[in-house]
Amino acid sequence: MTGELSPIDKAKFAAAKRSVEFIEDGMKVGLGTGSTAAWMVRCLGERVRNERLRIKGVPTSARTAVLARDVGISVISLDEAKWLDVTIDGADEFDGAFNLIKGGGGAHLQEKIVATASDRMIVITDASKEVETLGAFPLPIEVIPFGWQTSKALVEELLISMDVMGRETTLRMNGDVPFISDEGNHIIDLHLNRIGNARQLSMALNQIPGVVENGLFIDICDTVVIGYGDGRVETRDINEGTVQNDRLDFVEADNLFTDLSD
């Protein structure tokens, strides 16, 4: 099956496969949202079935919860778990300091809550997501529906004083209607091109009335696992200052992901 995957999907699969090796019996695990995280959930489900791994998964979206249950992972809420050993999730961008932009799938609010309630956050990605400076990927902010246009105007006013290259803002749509998050909120995407001071911007955005959370993850990620289309995997740990290189041997008969779509 993996022989039919595109190079980018092979890279996601490789990173996901490597990341679940960090999971140990008895752990409580945050399960991310998005196409790369979906590979991870499937790989983790394989370990649960084949190794009788006993874990509890805390999903970061309704769609991740459905997938986790489908592959045999026991799902609990964050309130039940209280604290997690590790969260594994994808990212839309990451820089050299492991700062991230997340929220391309509209789940960054729950993703940030779960990640910050974990001893460790592991990000799984492909090499294309690494950037020198954050901002090429639109930065999402989640806003409550009441007065969202006022919140949007206040954000645009704030951006004038921020170190960013662009200031276009757009309401995320789902066809002809606004996209609605799992929490019932809207998403506004900020097309900034370059973010000069991500920490300052994150703090300022969250002071605006109506803004629930933004997609900047600052000082949250501990480990980045980067997959490549040829099966190579690079694991960087910011706390240990280490870089480890491995190679995954693709198994052509593997049919774990035949029904997985982005």
Q: 36 among the known binding-site residues?
A: yes
- Catalytic entry in 93, 111, 142, 213: 111
Q: 2 among the known binding-site residues?
A: no
Q: 90 among the known binding-site residues?
A: yes
Q: 249 among the known binding-site residues?
A: no
Q: 129 among the known binding-site residues?
A: yes
Name the token pair of 207. 């002071």
Q: 133 among the known binding-site residues?
A: no
Q: 219 among the known binding-site residues?
A: no
- 247 in Cβ contact with 232 (< 8 Å): yes
Q: 89 among the known binding-site residues?
A: yes
User: Any catalytic annotation for residue 111?
Assistant: yes
Q: 28 among the known binding-site residues?
A: no
Q: 105 among the known binding-site residues?
A: yes
Full 3-state SS string of the chain: CHHHCCHHHHHHHHHHHHHHHHCCCCCEEEECCCHHHHHHHHHHHHHHHHHCCCCEEEECCHHHHHHHHHCCCEECCHHHHCCECEEEECCCEECCCCCEECCCCCCHHHHHHHHHCECCEEEEEEHHHECCCCCCCCEEEEECCCCHHHHHHHHHHHHCCCCECCCEEEECEECCEECCCCCCCEEEEEECCCECCHHHHHHHHCCCCCEEEECEECCCCCEEEEECCCCEEEEEECCCCEEEEEECCCCCCCCCCCCCCC
Q: 34 among the known binding-site residues?
A: yes
Q: Which of the residues are catalytic?
A: 111
* Annotated binding residues for substrate: 33-36, 89-92, 102-105, 129
* Annotated binding residues: 33-36, 89-92, 102-105, 129
